[in-house]
Each structure stands twice: as C-alpha cells, then as structure tokens.
Chain A
Amino acid sequence: MDDPFYNLKNSIKKDFAGLSFSEERKNAVKETIRRKQSHLELHYWKVETLKNILESLQDGAKHGYDISTQLFRKKELSFKSNEGQLYILLHLLENKKIITSNWIEDRKYYSLTTKGKKYVASWEYRGSKQCASLNYLIEEASL
C-alpha cells in the first residue's frame, strides 16, 4: 500500500480534464483522409495506366505480382516503389465490376469481367485516339 503512484489515476484525470481532442481537429483528420482517398476514384489514375492493367489481363487471369511485372515491362512506372497502390486500383476496378478475382491456392487471381472485356474491345476498335474516353466510359458505366 506504500505505492507512491497509488493516487495517480485520479490525479491525472483531474489535471488532464481540460485536454480534449476538439471537433475541429477531428475534422482536420477527416479532411486529410478525404484528400488521400481521391486516389480511390478512377479519374485519379492516368488512362494509360488503366489501359495497361486491363490489357495485361486480356490473355487470361493473373495474380498481382504477374500484373506488376508485366506493367513494369511495359514501362508503366506508376507503381514503382509503391506497389500497394496497384492493389488499391485493382480493388477499385473490382468494385466497379470491370475485373473480378478468385482465390487459387493462397493467391488472388484477377480476370476481366464481361464488362471489362467490352471496354478493352471498344477502345481497341476505336483506336488509341479514343483512349481518353476510357476513363469517362468506366465512370459512366459504374454510376
């Protein structure tokens, strides 16, 4: 009972009573998060990047690492030293039902959905000039 810290809890409670994380501060955190979350929108990404990813899936399902090496070969450097971003984008494309994924033996394989295939086909048909509309198409279709 001879513990000098015995009363510490009450003592600190009283002294720190005025120390509170304000709503203003909380909103500042939320604001920062919202800004960071803009990369969760497709229009944040370059059209070329989207195109490269979808094209890499054209010849069948691939897992993330495969996609990443194939992008690297295409000189797509958006994810260089930031591979986590690739998975964020893949997840986003999945949410928009442009790609889908399957777990096979502890690995997640991504493949194009019918919708995704349509996009790839449509911009190949229209040629690279129309490429800029890909983003728009994807946004529009997923509203």
Chain B
Amino acid sequence: MADEKIAINVNNIENTEQIIGQLMDNYSDDVLHLVFSYVKNRTTAEDLTQEIFIKCYEKLGQFNHKSSIKTWLYRIAINHCKDYLRSWHYRKIKFSDKIWDHIPSKSKHVEEEIISRNVADSLTSAVMDLPVKYREVAFLHYYEELSLANISKITGVNRNTLKTRLKHARELLKNKMKKEV
C-alpha cells in the first residue's frame, strides 16, 4: 500500500471531482475486482463500483488521513457490497435463480456462462464458490496481499476471527480440490 500519490485536500470542495477522477484512474480496476469477488456478476459489479465512487465523493470530507486512502476506499467498497448482498433486490434475484435451477432450460443463465468463461482457472472458481466470509479473507489476503491486521481494519472483523476463517477456508479448499481430482 505504498502508492500514496494522491494529495487530498478536503478543504477544497471544488477539487473533489478531480480527486475522484484520480482515485478511479488508480484504483477502479482493483475495486471492480474486489466487488466482483463479492457479487460474482460483471454488470452488477460495474454498477456497484460506480456507486462506490459516488459514495466516496460524498464522504470525502470525512476522510481523516488516519488510514491510507486505499484502505478507506476499500472499506467503503466492502460495506457497499455487503449492503447489496443483504438487500431485498439481491435476495429476489437469488430466489429466482433457485427457481431456474428447477426448470430445465438450455439457455439457463447467460450471466453465469460469462462468469464461468471468465473464471477458467479451477483455483479461482473454487475460491469463488466459497461462502462469502471465507472468500473475502482469501481474496484480500492472497490476491490483495493485505496483512490480517489491515484486513481487520478494512472489514471491521476481529483479527483472530479472520485467522480462524482463513484456516477454515484452506481446509474447505483442500477438500474441494481433492474431490475434483
């Protein structure tokens, strides 16, 4: 997290549009990947990422320089993803997904096909299949290469809990890979 190129001057409201532009240039792909790891759907991930940067604009005045801007951005992003996963809208989609599972259909889900094409590698798809609390810590620790202390700061989850989850995630993954072989 050494990339602190963005000078934030919160006193200059007129400058915020520029700051968000810079934030997007530096981190929007990272945020998109992060969001995708939660919602597993490309269009949804893009929509949420868009909303996240607008949220950042609204909250920029509250950024207190105590954490790095990336930590701050990720915290907003993750909270937004979790709100989405809890939302009525998402639950409705999930429910109709389940209905589709019971109806034999050739065209099943276009979105799902795109994802499975995206996720060609079996390791990625195995991780994407993990329950969200394990997927979250695996993604942040191994892909983002964040320390557990930092992940704790970002997610608000206790460090020891994260440690246990990571351990559990490894076991889940090992079992999964065994079955596939």
Contact = CB atoms under 8 A, between A and B. Distances in A.
Nearest to B114: A18
B57 interface: yes
A36 B24 contact: no
A33 B36 contact: no
B181 interface: no
B54 interface: yes
A21 B57 contact: no
Interface residues of A, number: 32
Contacts of A33: 16-17, 20, 54, 57
Nearest to A3: B170
Nearest to A28: B50
Nearest to B31: A21
Contact of A12 (B13, B143, B170): B143
Main secondary structure of the interface of B (DSSP, over half): helix
Interface of A: 3-5, 7-9, 11-16, 18-22, 25-26, 28-30, 32-34, 36-37, 40, 88, 91-92, 95
Given A5-B127, A12-B139, A33-B54, 20 more contacts: A4-B177, A5-B142, A5-B170, A12-B33, A12-B121, A13-B143, A14-B120, A14-B124, A15-B124, A16-B124, A19-B33, A19-B45, A22-B46, A25-B46, A30-B20, A32-B50, A33-B57, A88-B13, A91-B13, A95-B14
3 smallest CB-CB distances across A and B, nearest first, come from A21-B28, A8-B142, A11-B123
24 contacts: A4-B170, A4-B177, A5-B169, A8-B142, A9-B145, A11-B123, A12-B33, A12-B124, A12-B143, A13-B143, A15-B118, A15-B121, A18-B118, A20-B29, A21-B28, A21-B49, A25-B46, A25-B50, A29-B57, A30-B17, A30-B21, A33-B57, A34-B17, A37-B14
